[in-house]
Amino acid sequence: MPKVVDHDQRRREIVEALWHIASTRGLEGVSLGEVATAAGVSKGLVQHYFGTRDQLLMHATGYLRERVEQRIAARVAAAPDSASGTLRAVLVALLPTDDDSRTESLVANAFLVRAHNDPVLTARFREGTSQVRNALTAAIGAAQRDGDLRADLDPAREADLLLALVSGLGEALLLGHHTPDAAVALLDHHLGRLATAGGPGFGHDG
């Protein structure tokens, strides 16, 4: 009987090999041959699935986005069923608080460096950021209507500030300046300052 090959799994293995390289030393000078060696396959097989180095890199960014979306969805599903619970869940999901999210953040940083000279990659980053910003803006507005967040807040402005906060906390986590618990506590402290007097007590995972 001929061997059944799971092509999607094989693609994931190759992309994850690229991720390992990106998370340990960045993407500068990475070749298809190096990725093939890391994945334990031939260079020809990598070319069969992805064609060129640029195509492999673009596929890897798509896989990164899928992983982040899955983590956000899992956090939201486990959070309290409220707009404020959703808001906190999305923000916590964006922080590199465990091994998987730390690897994803390191990979994202490697791609961000490359994006400075790659308009297509830059557009992908902007699209992803805009989607998260829109989700945060909507959650803030809904939490205001629920009476959980202060009515004087500008949802779009607060979404930008929260994105900047989690970006800074994420870098601090990668550098070891904060522990995951400390970073989440700082996030909760800021969210508490946005809450109404009778609003939710941030700091409790669902």
Decide if pLDDT at 145 tops 80. Answer: yes
Burial (0-12, 13-18, 19+ Cβ within 10 Å), 172: middle
Q: HSE (CB half, 13 Å, CA atoms) of 6?
A: 6
Convert the pLDDT of each residue in 175-195 to its tens digit: 999 999 999 999 999 999 999
Does this model's pTM top 0.75? My answer is yes
Query: Contact, 82 vs 146, CB < 8 A?
Result: yes
Number of H helices and E strands in the chain, helices first, is 9, 0
Q: Which domains does the chain have, with CATH numbers?
A: 7-194 (1.10.357.10)
Convert the pLDDT of each residue in 85-139 to its tens digit: 999 999 999 999 999 999 999 999 999 998 988 899 999 999 999 999 999 999 9
Confidence of residue 203 (pLDDT cuts 50, 70, 90): low
Calpha distance 26→30 (Å, rounded)? 8
